[in-house]
Structure 1
Amino acid sequence: MMFLMDFFRMSMRRLLHILLLLFMVPISSHANNILVLKRGAMSDYDRAVSGITDYFSQYGTDLQTDIKDISTFKGSLSTLLSGNPDVILTIGTKVTKLIKEQAPNQKIVFVMAYEPYSNKILDQEGQPTATITGVTADIPIEQELNHFQQMLPEAKRIGVLYNNNHSHEFITELTEKANSRGLEVVGIDVESSRNVPTALKQIENNIDVFWIVADPTILERNSRKQIMLFWIKKNIPIVGIAANYVKAGALYCVSIDSYEAGQQAARMCAGVVDGLGPVDIPIESPNKFKVVYNSEAAGKLSIKIPVEVIQTGQSISK
């Protein structure tokens, strides 16, 4: 009899505890809305979107995801933002910069953004702000150099063009780490894209390979074309920064796994929805990488792609 009374008391306490929790938990009057913005139909962007949507489909809260491509959106940016999203998840550097400038008070999680400090997305190197955090597209230099020596073991002199106002820290670190491996960085600081042709001629006879860096001056449309055509004609291997450069004739690039990066960014968004501020969520580097290589370019340069790269990387061509 005493046992039954104790069991009854314990069951009642548990029931009261559950009821109390139910009444204490607020019921949201609206679903959490996440606006996902990209620009253009790049396959890497689409894979990032897949990672994002797959993550949110498994997340246990009420989330509504609205995906828009601003290159095809017919309305104004203010119309796009008029739904007052709880978080905007931006894919790519240009979209992230645009939204930061146009909606400075909006909570933003970015993914696949290059050099977010140099590109004025972040106020301090590697530090989130009150409104912005995310996953960079930047690959650790040691990782880059590991793949460089795997792909081009005979190359010793690396040519780079850069704007010192944007890429000073990156070039300094690249030079130091390359030197420690017996490699030399032959770099020229270009003030604007107008200086690119002259700078290319200055280093054309002094390098074994040209490395494209994620510098806004170098990545301007005219600069990109000039650089690619110049070195392809000279039969000098090019290290790109993304798969589209490899498709255009670069030998290879070290690429992030954009699906995985999308999942990382989605997890950060979930944190913001759950009450964390962007400033509380550290900036992350991509978790996974792969080598994307151009077999046709390798053939023209008489370069043999390592077996390990063939097994684990991705072949791409024009």
Structure 2
Amino acid sequence: MNSYNNETMNITERMIKIISKKLLCLLFLFLLLPGLLSADDKRKIMVINSDASVEKYREVQEEFHKAISYPIPVTEIRLEDRRRTISEIDALLDDKDYCVVYCIGTKAYLIANKYADEKPVIFSSVINWLRLPVTERTYGVSNELHTGMQLMLFRYIFPKIQKLGVLYSRQYTGEWFKKTVEAAKEMNVEIIGHAVSDGNDAVTKLQKLLPDIQAFWLISDPMVMSDKKNLFKILKQCDTKKTPVFSYHGVFAKYGAILVVSADNPTIGRQAAGIAEELLSGRKPAEKVQFPAGSHIILNLKKVKEYGLQYSEDALGSVNQVIE
């Protein structure tokens, strides 16, 4: 009995010693932590927003701030504030304490790319980022969703549509078109496309394209959408022929697009924050430019019924907004 009690006491003493050591380690880390953080106190993030009065830009920036877990100062520059001159922004970017620059919108990125020297630059909320001047220090979140995901949604909601028309430019979306044609084949979808040189050419090429397709996929190409006038002509032609339009921005639903699959802005902000934190920790992200991880789907059911299109009612559960 005594040997049993002695063994129990020995085990208890060992456990107390182990717990005591762990508590001391935790106390040491707790005392050391402020010193560790103070070593990084000089590091800062700069956020340049092309126009924070624009809702989608503001949403992205707000979510970026929420998602940053590092205890690190963030300086905001809003380009709609005319009090900030380019020379002032240039002087701020010269500050070596700014170790990451996050740019929201094209205007912000072009300024940072020019003046940020060797600092890593993250972009988001840029339509057709492939037209941007990029460097080894460029990272970002694309505004365009993964092609395969969009095609799957098209097929899921409209299983009878198998011929999609696309207008594209060789300069900006030529490579995207080639890859999309191949991806579509795996889903039993045929992509029929015409290359265009400008907005007027797009209107002409669409007239040739419409008789051969079941739906038109309006993509973000600056040659196709060179101005509002030609864009409205494209949408009007499709509506006259009752050819459904798939697109990438919610505004097009107001002008007759039947399906819009767009990137989710809060998700983009969180992804940009994730890239920033990887860079701050000394790691390089596996993908320099990521596809958006979330989407927002709008179905114009009013137009669907007007055109007499067949659609999957089961798919309505995956739609965020229905226009009736």
Range class of TM-score, shorter chain: 0.7 to 0.9
Alignment correspondent of 2:125: 112
Structure 2: how far apart are the matches of 1:292 and 1:194?
28
Residues 192, 269 of structure 1: alpha-carbon distance in 2 compared, 3 angstrom cutoff: same
SS at match of 2:243: coil
Residues 152, 40 of structure 1: alpha-carbon distance in 2 compared, 3 angstrom cutoff: farther
Alignment correspondent of 1:92: 105
Alignment of 1:1-318 (within 5 A): 27-28=39-40, 30=42, 32-39=44-51, 41-56=53-68, 59-66=69-76, 68=78, 70-71=79-80, 73-84=82-93, 85-93=98-106, 95-101=108-114, 103=116, 105-116=118-129, 118-122=130-134, 129=136, 131-222=137-228, 223-276=230-283, 282-303=288-309, 306-315=312-321
Which structure dedicates a bigger proportion of its chain to helix? Answer: 2
Structure 2: how far apart are the matches of 1:176 and 1:205?
22
* TM-score normalised by structure 2 residue count: 0.78
Alignment correspondent of 1:126: none
- Choose 1 or 2 for highest CA Rg: 2
1:235 CA displacement: 1.9
**Which segments of 5 or more consecutive residues in structure 1 lack a partner in the other structure?**
124-128
Counterpart AA for 1:112: S
CA displacement 1:162-197 (0-9 Å, x = unmatched): 111221221111112223333222211112223122
Residues 165, 306 of structure 1: alpha-carbon distance in 2 compared, 3 angstrom cutoff: same
1:266 CA displacement: 1.0
1:65 CA displacement: 4.3
CA displacement 1:79-116 (0-9 Å, x = unmatched): 34543344321223454345324545443111233443
Aligned residues: percent identity?
18
SS at match of 1:153: coil
CA displacement 1:25-72 (0-9 Å, x = unmatched): 75355462422413365543333223212213xx1413224252x345
CA contact (8 A) 2:198 2:226 kept: no
1:309 CA displacement: 4.1
CA contact (8 A) 1:247 1:316 kept: no
SS at match of 1:113: coil
RMSD: 3.5
CA contact (8 A) 1:159 1:203 kept: yes
Q: Between Structure 1 and Structure 2, how many residues are aligned?
A: 302
CA contact (8 A) 1:132 1:279 kept: no
**Which segments of 5 or more consecutive residues in structure 2 lack a partner in the other structure?**
1-12
CA contact (8 A) 1:90 1:109 kept: yes
